[in-house]
Amino acid sequence: MTREDILLKLEEIFREVFDDETIDLTEEITPDDIEDWDSIGNVYLTVEIEEELHISLGDDMNKISNVKDIIDLIINRLEAING
Amino acid sequence: MFIRRVSNKLRRIKDYLCDYIVYKCLEKDRPKESGLLRIILRGRKLVGFYGECHMYIYGGYLSSVRELKKYYYLLGAKEIEYLVRWHSTRINNRNVWNKLDVLIYNPGVPDRKGAPSLGAVLEWIPDNCKRIEVTNAVFKGYMPQHTEKVFKNDQLFIWGDKNINKLLNEKESESKLEELLSESFYDPQFVIDYFEKSIKRLKQYEQRCTIKIADYIEENGKKRPLFYSVTHPEDEIMRELTLRIMNELGLERRELRNTSGQAGLFDLHTHGEVIYPSVCKALGFSNEVLERTIHPGSYKNLDYTFEKYVKEYYRMGKEIAEQ
């Protein structure tokens, strides 16, 4: 999956989790930009990403500060799986 | 009230001393079948706890069950903040965790200064230690207004309100608050969908937990409100979760004693969040629920009706914005 593919997939996930079809995701978006992206929203987001991409993000999702960090984390996990 | 306060204080001192002695024994790198610990445990399994405020409630209920105490010794059955405050050096010693037979914990507890991380504790416990991962029981379904974004205040409003925040941001006049009081403020279908979606999210989150609660909320959550705030369940939920923990420990369901003051309504009735009249209406709650009051923040001496809450939140938000 390329960075762009991941961003597109994340946009789908964000729209579903935060129930907002108008979300246009960019790497710069932070939790401050999306009202429901609080600590509980982050937990829901983590669960949904893990389910969709079959990876485990764990507590590292608590340390992210924007979408870019999530993409980096996903790439890191996918690389670990694919070796 | 006075007697209850004194007896609670004495019980806390006793709990502290019991935990202190066992922690001190565990700190020594010796098997638990030796010395003073052998006498204290008398062959019982050692149960440790790691979690937030809910742990205190489970601990209270579990320790009120005589049969459970025949087979298990409960150590540090409190929230992690308490353990950091009173047993900081002891809980950072891996020896106190590596002799546990059972660990009851909440997943995703954030790291706290002075405490070992949950990840470290899970590494320290022995391979044969039974892990009971208990859902954090966080449920947004009754409170679609919930947000963590709230103006800085004196701990009166711990959680924010999206609707009033919006009115404040748009500098709308106080008269607009009337709309929030209306039974048609939230569209009924939105409320029902939001409730169902919150259950779905909780179910997803609980997939890996040993002890779950989403099924119980799904079955009973529209009969009565089961949460005092998004993060504080009502006593009914805490009792049900305790019974499920007991079941995991091999004990049958039973009536739990009312341990008011130690566990139950008394403790989790803080940081209250309102249920909008339109949410009550859509979920089919009785008028009694409409008249529900909350203690804002940790102010147990204050009782806010929905109307009072809306006005106070708006007033304070406006006041702070003007400063």
Chain B partners within 8 Å of A48 (Cβ): 204
What is the arithmetic mean of pLDDT over A25-50? 93
DSSP summary character for residue B187:
-
CB B95 within 8 A of CB B126: no
ipTM: 0.83
**Nearest CA of chain A to the CA of B152: how many Å?**
16
Asked whether the predicted pLDDT for residue B47 surpasses 70, the reply is: yes
* CATH class name, domain A3-82: mainly alpha
What pTM does this model have? 0.90
**Domain residue ranges in chain A:** 3-82
Give, to the nearest 10 degrees, the angle between helix B53-62 and helix B235-248: 60
Q: What is the pLDDT of residues A38-74, one digit of tens each?
A: 989 999 999 999 999 999 998 889 889 999 999 999 9
Chain B stretch 173-232, residues whose beta carbon is closer than 8 A to a beta carbon of chain A: 197, 201, 204-205, 207, 230
Q: What is the pLDDT of residue B70?
A: 95
Among the listed residues B161, B221, B214, B227, the one whose alpha carbon sits nearest the alpha carbon of residue B192: B221
Q: What is the pLDDT of residue B110?
A: 82
Asked whether the predicted pLDDT for residue B1 surpasses 80, the reply is: no
Find which of A19, A30, A32, A40 to mutate to test the B interface (most B CBs within 10 Å of its CB).
A40
Chain B partners within 8 Å of A20 (Cβ): none
Q: Is A8 on the interface with B (CB under 8 A)?
A: no
Among the listed residues A76, A63, A80, the one whose alpha carbon sits nearest the alpha carbon of residue A3: A76
